[in-house]
């Protein structure tokens, strides 16, 4: 989130070629895919619906980040940018849910009969 905030604080250059604009939008999608996935990972075991909560947190952050851009000289807030960010959020939520639905049931841990987790925190 700090990296997104840093980049959105930078002043915008004028006169981008179309491929630079497309590259920036792909960067937006990728950044928000990663942010949603990280939130979902951090929230798993804490909430019953980590993907939905992660998507909501990330979407709210996308909105507030675009609002933040309205205060940066040469930048503006754009619902189109929030829409592009939402595509990344939706892609991450879809990919994570597809991955979870394709997993076999949890394997049994020899020490306690519970599902083995990837993190000792969970």
Residue 32 near residue 92 (C-beta atoms within 8 A): yes
Surface-to-core class of residue 55, CB atoms within 10 Å of its CB (0-12 exposed, 13-18 middle, 19+ buried):
buried
Residue 54 near residue 47 (C-beta atoms within 8 A): no
Locate the domains of the chain by residue range. Answer: 29-100
pLDDT tens sequence for the chain (122 residues): 988 888 888 777 677 777 777 888 898 899 999 999 999 999 998 999 999 999 999 999 999 999 998 888 888 888 999 999 999 999 999 999 998 877 666 554 444 445 555 555 55
**What does the alpha-carbon distance between residue 36 and residue 34 come to, in Å, rounded to a whole number?**
6
Entry pTM = 0.75
């Amino acid at each position: 989130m700090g990296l997104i905030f840093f980049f959105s604080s930078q002043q915008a250059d004028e006169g981008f070629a179309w491929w630079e604009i497309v590259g920036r939008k792909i960067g937006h999608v990728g950044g928000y895919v990663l942010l949603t996935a990280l939130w979902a990972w951090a929230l798993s075991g804490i909430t019953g619906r980590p993907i939905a909560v992660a998507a909501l947190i990330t979407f709210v952050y996308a909105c507030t980040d675009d609002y933040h851009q309205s205060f940066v000289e040469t930048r503006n807030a754009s619902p189109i940018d929030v829409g592009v960010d939402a595509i990344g959020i939706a892609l991450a939520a879809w990919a994570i849910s597809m991955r979870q639905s394709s997993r076999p049931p949890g394997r049994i841990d020899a020490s306690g009969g519970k599902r083995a987790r990837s993190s000792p925190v969970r």
